[in-house]
Structure 1
């Protein structure tokens, strides 16, 4: 059964059916027991009436016995011989045993009695009495259960007629209520199907005015669509920017190779090598960004961030335009990918070397539960309104500079992505002496 409405209606109907059947059986049982007890009281009253006559010395043949069909009565001696009986009473079966003791407490039982050739069900009560000629006798009286059976049968028939009708009403109401409740879900599903078919991520599903789970589902769906739209837009922009960035070095390299093929003496080998290196670095940056976007988790290698800074600065050596002042004393242990953290540090140093006038300074310290790495330069700095945009991909604030001098605009984006993958942050502010101050915070290793 694929329909939620049908499953809900069937489930509700089954639950109500089980509850009603249980309640109906309980009602029938209680009704039968109550009416049977009333019949027993009537039988006891009849038996005591006869017993009182015997106690007063009324002879057996002078007893005032009730009608045998409604209340059959039989008086028996201790040896089982019948002393008196109602008119037309032929037989009694299922009667209770004679009471013990003085007979103040009657005994009850269900059985049958045959009166004038017709057998019916009765509730019997037996009490003790003193016979008219001495000795103890047992007075057994019955009360017809025909009225009990008729009442129980009437209630049962009413239940059998009313139960299906009630279940039909429950099923219908559940179906309608469920359909109304699921109408917003169908609207969401229909709109999602339309969005999938049209590939238009700018569309949104309708949000109900209610504050229930369906409204929250619609809002979450719209938030997911908005996030997906932004992600796709970033992907498109990334592909377009990457294509543009790759086109320049490839075109330059092709031009130099074509000139070299036509005029070998004019081949600019150094320029071709520089374009190849730039192309290789750009491809490496794009590959790292793709891995970070795919959710690649960094390693959990324990390393000393201060030692990593000293090693990276030493490896760069004379390749840097300006010397780097390092202030990294005590060990500062973090956990992560040594390669990615070294890449983030290298990108921050490249950015500082590109913009600094005379000095570049790096510090590493502990601050609470964080390891803090700062890279400061004395360049023009980053305007406050651009301090978030500078971390976007392919963004260069100084568009007047060439790409060769300024890079592709991926270094800071990579550095921030690496910081976030390691559970940290990367921000920029103004340095104390002017210029930019980049602050990388990472959790200390446990």
Structure 2
């Protein structure tokens, strides 16, 4: 299971903190505000009912209807003869329970509020002493309908939703510069040209962006210097090599032919080595991608490096891949040259597969393969399986290194693995893209 993202983690932390603060605030509100208000309202209403019962008993009979009308119209209280009911346990809202307790304190006796339905509305009745008799006081629930638990529950839910949204917004604001830095580092690390980060915001993040931009400039300068150095060395060495070749050609008439042939072969090997180094230097060059027909690409690579004596099988394939043409042809050509050098004969094949969002182009052979513990080492410059370094048994050890450099510079993945049944599989994984602006498919043979 992957670790949660920074935004999600900060959102959960801040939401939890907001929720705890809200629950604490709700508890303080209930204890210090809602409860005292409910108790005071219950006590006032109970006092009104007890006072009304006493006043009714002391008034002359002819004036009592006026009191009943006043209580009904102004206070929502209805007076009636005492009703007969059994005080059974019923579920009452908190406000009714507080009123029962207040009536018991004021009347000096246990009072039970009886609930009944009238015209679709809940009414509560209580018998209270009025002189020598008892009167029933009734009121609808809407008259004394306080639901603090509902208000608190709605407030908590609304607060949690608000806290979640606010926490997500704050978390994104806090982590956006870090996510921007992470994307820039991923792009730059995969060979892309990452844009420089804005050096604004909080002091720590601005300093981090400034250091990252400085690192990008330093790496760009180092890569440019390396490319220039390798290209310059290669160019400077080719001029004396050309002169040496000319001198050898002029000397053939007077010197020993075998000796001159050996010198000529050495010069050719040096020229090939310089070409490989120059290819390695050019591996960092950026080239715009194009849509390439995979079948045409394979045919072009095979035509450039294979021949009648070294056939290459091309698996029938359709579709396109978006990649810089020269870089991809050079990488596949180096892999194919490696297979032809170390595994000549039948069994060499160019294969294409689609796995998820990746196009995998492979060069497969039936050679001796590579020991598992040296698969990664063989992609480093000047690495060969033959420790003798003899030119007769292989090249300079730059073919796989150039392919790896080209893959890194273009955001591809070079994967080497031993082939089942013997041999080596060299795969270049190219992420599929549908970006606008990429030209239409072209053949795999650029000029």
Which TM-score bucket, shorter chain as reference?
0.3 to 0.5
Q: Which structure would you say has the larger Rg?
A: 1
TM-score with structure 1 setting the length = 0.42
- TM-score for both structures, normalised by structure 2: 0.41
Higher relative contact order (CA 8 A, sep 6+): 2
- Identify, as 1 or 2, the structure richer in strand: 1
